[in-house]
Each structure stands twice: as C-alpha cells, then as structure tokens.
Amino acid sequence: MTERDRRPAPASPLQDLDRWIGGLDLTRWPAFMRPVIRGAGRLTELLGPYWAYLLPIVIGAAVFSTAVWAFGEVWEGVREQGDLARLDEPVLQLAVALRAPVPDAVVTGFTFVGGPVVAPVLTVLAIAGLVIVRRSWTPVLVIVPAALGSLAMTIAGKRIFGRERPPMADAVPPYETSASFPSGHTLNAIVIAGAVGYVLLLKRRSVAGRVWTVAVAATYALGIGLSRVYLGHHWLTDVVAAWVLGAAWLAVVVTVHRLFLTVHRSRAPG
C-alpha cells in the first residue's frame, strides 16, 4: 500500500488542496496552535481567503525587515571580533589559496545564476511553469511573497549595516560595490530555492522524488553562499547571517500557507 493509498479520501477538492507532503498532513497542528488557527479562521471570515493569506505575509515581511536589527548582535560580533567573526579573515585567505583559473570561472558562472540579473528571470519562469503544470495559483501564493520579502530584507540589511566588502585585492572580478552584510545572493537563494522546493514537494508522491527535491534546493542554497566567500565578494559572517535569516523567513511563509490550507479544509463541505 502506498502513502497515497493510506490517505483518507477527501470530502471535497478544497479539502485535499496541497494538503499532503508524503504521509504528512499539513493541516494537522499541535494543540498549542489552536488559537492561531482560530484567529486565521476569523480573519478569513472578515477579509476573504486571499486577503487573509496576504495580510500575515505583508506583516511578516515588515516585521522581518525591521527585525534585521536583531542581527545587530551578529554585527557587534563582527565589530568586536567575536568568535564567528574571527573566522572571516582566515576563511577568506583559505579561499584565495584554493583559487585557480578554471574553478574561478566555474564558480563565477554559478554565482551569476543566483545574481540580480538571472535569478529574477529564472524565478518568474519557474512560477509560470509551475502554475501551468499544476493548474493552481499555489506557486504564486508561496514563491512571490517569499521572494519579495527576501528582497526587502536584503535592502534593509545593507542600508542598516553598510558593511564594507572584502578588499578587491582578495576578490575575483567582476567586483561589486554594494554593502556586504547580509549576502543578498545567499538570502535570495535559500528563500527562492526553498519556496520552489516546497511547492514541488506538495506534488511529489515518491520518497526518492522528495529526497531529490530537498537535496537539490539545499545544495543550490549552500553552493551560492559558499561561492560568495570563495570569490571574495562576501565575508563568511555575511553568508551565515543570510542563511539564518532566509531560513527563518521561509519558515514564516510555509507556516502561513499551511494555515491557509487548514482554514480552507475546515470551511470545505463535508
């Protein structure tokens, strides 16, 4: 018997809308989440399902953009040469020692894919393709808010901290001049790859398919971050902060989507 065979038959199409990842029911929550679910239901009654979905996303993006201030602790560690910040210079010098013409060209090409020119185009194509294949608006509901929130946090972080990048003498061209903290490539990579991976997982029926989806998304996000350090475009702390912030924001987006599914299921006939 397959995982799909073990699932209860849905009472309506809405009740089974993107509800499962393998045998995991995304509409089942621990008891302490019940007040949040009731609040989401009341918000849906007041605003309608889609406005009730977008409002928490907008509030979450604003809170997270402001909460970049929380990374002041990390920034203080950078300024005061805390434990993590002490790794910045040695890791950069290790990257310089490992460089060679062919790896430099390969890594530069890879990081270009995650940059502000190619990444938005690939994201739009991914959203359009998933909408057509799935015949639903789930990719738009998940990926677009995730990407916009990531962009807002990148802009806010760079303006707040204004940290200088590693010296150009230790970097591989083409050089970049924007602020260094946090790494925008890394932040956008983990959020967009995670959001696309999450949407794909909603339709992956085999264990192997789900494992490959997670592995590819994680490898891409990890690779983009490491490429920024290897090329000398960012300090290690820029990348670590982006990984942490991106993972937290992705968790918010996925949680809001799960609440959306839960409210739909509770309101569905049957």
Residue 26 within any structural domain of the chain = no
Residues 21, 205 contacting (CB under 8 angstroms) = no
- Give the pLDDT confidence score for residue 58 in this predicted structure: 76
Prior bond to 174 cis, omega within 30? Answer: yes
Residues 176, 221 contacting (CB under 8 angstroms) = no
DSSP 116: T
Residues 249, 26 contacting (CB under 8 angstroms) = no
- Burial, 10: exposed, middle or buried (Cβ in 10 Å; 0-12, 13-18, 19+)? middle
Residue 15 within any structural domain of the chain = no
- Give the pLDDT confidence score for residue 218 in this predicted structure: 95
Residue 132 within any structural domain of the chain = yes
The tens digit of pLDDT for each residue in 234-261 reads 999 889 889 988 998 998 899 888 888 8
Residue 13 within any structural domain of the chain = no
Residue 5: pLDDT band with limits 50, 70, 90: very low
Residue 214 within any structural domain of the chain = yes
Residue 218 within any structural domain of the chain = yes
Give backbone dihedrals phi and psi of 269, rounded to 5 degrees, phi first: -60, 145
* 12 CB neighbour count, 10 Å cutoff: 13
Task: Find the mean pLDDT for residues 70-90.
Answer: 65
- For 177, the token pair is 């001049």
252-265 burial by CB neighbour count: b if 16+ within 10 A, else e? Answer: bbbbbbbbbbbbbb
Which of 9-18, 95-104, 162-171 shows the lowest mean pLDDT across its residues?
Answer: 9-18
Instruction: Give yes or no for residue 268 having a pLDDT over 60.
Output: no
Residue 180 within any structural domain of the chain = yes
Residue 223 within any structural domain of the chain = yes
- Burial, 189: exposed, middle or buried (Cβ in 10 Å; 0-12, 13-18, 19+)? buried
Range of the domain at 180: 33-263
Instruction: Give yes or no for residue 187 having a pLDDT over 80.
Output: yes
Instruction: Give yes or no for residue 11 having a pLDDT over 50.
Output: no
The reported pTM is 0.85
Residues 27 and 264: their CA atoms lie apart, in Å, by: 9
Count: domains in the chain: 1
Instruction: Give yes or no for residue 143 having a pLDDT over 90.
Output: yes
